[in-house]
Amino acid sequence: MAVRTAAIPQELIYRAAYEANRLAATTVPRDGLVAFQRAAQRESKPLARFVLRKIVDNANLAVAENRPMCADTGLPRYYVKVGNEAAIEGGFVALERTLRQAVADLTHDIQLRANRVHPLTRHNPGNNVGIFAPNVDYSFEPDGDWIDIIVVHKGGLFGTDYRMLFPADGVTGIKRFLLDNLAEFARRGLSCPPVIIGVGLGGTKDQCVRLSKEAACLRSIGDRHPDPLVADLEVELNDLANRTGFGVMGVGGDTTSYDVHIEIAYAHTGGLPTAVSQLCHAYRRAVGRVHPDGRVEYRDDPQWFTPYYRRVGIE
Ligand code: SF4
């Protein structure tokens, strides 16, 4: 007879969600700190170098003083990866109630900016909780009996765009779209570059946009796609973005993009859907893995794009 895994209590999920939100708000993932420092060191333009150094100082100060690194604390959102063997006390409805409560409490306790408002009345509930807020997206993983609660406080929301290309547009069309996107948003400083750029290729329109956001938010800087064709394009697009010279906050400089991550999905034979999402340099993310035995492990690498998540065939 199969042994049933003990249910993960909501109290433990609450603790992990609250702490992951706190860590996302007040720490900077290590890959981000390294990328900030490298960009400042190699910058050739004095004004851009000055601003990049201020980004490094600001990130270090935020960590030292346990405070958010930007006054705009973005939009708190969750990505939840659930092991196939995990059992959750109260099920997914209870889980979602707990995740919403953690955002409301953290918004109050650490003074995240209450950014979420009704889109028409502009009513602000004051706790970042409302209709479809915070976002919760799910994926699943074979064998695991744990839940990963991934928190992103997403900034740079002006830098997301979508275009339906034709297959014949190919890589040239993708590059053109990326350059249009950067010219529109990066030069005007709307997404606060340097940014991490996520590109979604293929799928349906909604899949494509979702993948571009996940690519921007849920992969570490320097990580390459396992498909060499995609990985090479990531390097090429990052080089292209930086050759625009838009630079940090649009003041001109060598680093417009810290990295480009591409995710692909099989597309309709007649189209090449393409989406670009920018994650601003306020790089805020943390993960809590909750085990049924009561342990919670925190880390900054989401490990969202597993081989199972990117599976090609039926198995
Ligand atoms: S885009 Fe990022 S860095 Fe700029 S104001 Fe928003 S959260 Fe802050």
Asked if residues 221 and 36 have their Cβ atoms less than 8 Å apart, the reply is no
Q: How far apart are CA 222 and CA 153, in angstroms?
A: 20
Q: How far apart are CA 264 and CA 230, in angstroms?
A: 8
- Number of neighbouring beta carbons within 10 Å of residue 185: 23
Mean pLDDT, residues 144-170 taken together: 93
Asked if residues 156 and 278 have their Cβ atoms less than 8 Å apart, the reply is yes
Q: Could you tell me the distance, in angstroms and rounded to a whole number, from the CA of residue 55 to the centre of ligand 1?
A: 12
- Hey, what are 265's tokens? 């999905």
Q: Token match 């995710």: residue?
A: 263
Q: How far apart are CA 216 and CA 69, in angstroms?
A: 19
DSSP 256: S
Question: What number does the ligand 1 atom closest to the CA of 192 have?
Answer: 4
- Hey, what are 49's tokens? 């170098």
**Quick one: pLDDT at residue 187?**
64
Q: Return the best residue to mutate from 280, 281, 283 for the ligand 1 pocket (most ligand atoms within 8 A of CB).
A: 280
The percent of residues above 70 in pLDDT, for the chain, comes to: 97
**Quick one: pLDDT at residue 194?**
94
- Number of neighbouring beta carbons within 10 Å of residue 147: 25
Mean pLDDT, residues 241-267 taken together: 95
